[in-house]
Chains A and B, each alone.
Chain A
Amino acid sequence: TQLLEQSPQFLSIQEGENLTVYCNSSSVFSSLQWYRQEPGEGPVLLVTVVTGGEVKKLKRLTFQFGDARKDSSLHITAAQPGDTGLYLCAGQPSRGNQFYFGTGTSLTVIP
């Protein structure tokens, strides 16, 4: 059972389009992470957010942590084929606990 639901599950867009991936839960998290995973590889950490309402930017990627620390979003501007991959959110219920992953969003950016 996974605590975090991601939407959409699959997303296929054209190069240059914008997109948003959502990560939702009924539970409160002390921190939340976003990962990207390519086929045959392990997930790689993109960002960690810890404060409700926090917004972090990483080049064309914008991450937001909900005010109540129950949800998060990832927005990608002007998507590129290199952005293709499985995007995963992971929440830490409290400090000292392990992270629990969301259901994943598979993104394909078509050249």
Chain B
Amino acid sequence: GAGVSQSPRYKVAKRGQDVALRCDPISGHVSLFWYQQALGQGPEFLTYFQNEAQLDKSGLPSDRFFAERPEGSVSTLKIQRTQQEDSAVYLCASSFVLDTEAFFGQGTRLTVV
């Protein structure tokens, strides 16, 4: 595709509900990243994939967070039993390979009520 596409753009979840956030990277991009961004703050790294392999998940805040990229293209970030502190913008980025320019999607704004 022309750019990184994330869906949904906005998600409101009741506390305790499970959510799934989707990322469609730029076609052919090997590296894919997920970040969490609080309002007015810099993005915080969550996890990184190279093709279908999740090479680093050190930034996932708890075991309620799970990410997958089963075919090395589309990725899903799943949050189980959402809590209010999970409210944030979740950004996905992709790059051709790790050390090349990363392109970001518009993000999914998650609000947990």
Contact = CB atoms under 8 A, between A and B. Distances in A.
Q: Tell me, yes or no, whether A binds B.
A: yes
Interface of A: 2, 4, 6, 31, 40-45, 48, 86, 88, 90, 92, 95-104, 106
Contacts of B43: 43, 88, 101
Contacts, number: 53
A44 B104 contact: yes
The dominant DSSP class at the B interface is loop
B85 interface: no
A42 B105 contact: yes
B15 to A, nearest CB: 25
A2 B36 CA distance: 12
Contacts of A99: 45, 102
Given A43-B104, A103-B41, 20 more contacts: A4-B42, A40-B106, A41-B107, A42-B4, A42-B93, A42-B104, A42-B105, A42-B107, A43-B43, A44-B104, A45-B101, A48-B101, A88-B43, A96-B98, A97-B98, A98-B33, A101-B42, A101-B44, A101-B45, A104-B40
Contacts of A31: 99
Contacts of B91: 42-43
B56 interface: yes
A2 B4 CA distance: 25
Select the residue from A43, A45, A88, A97 with max chain B CB neighbours within 10 A: A43
A41 B106 contact: yes
B56 A98 contact: yes
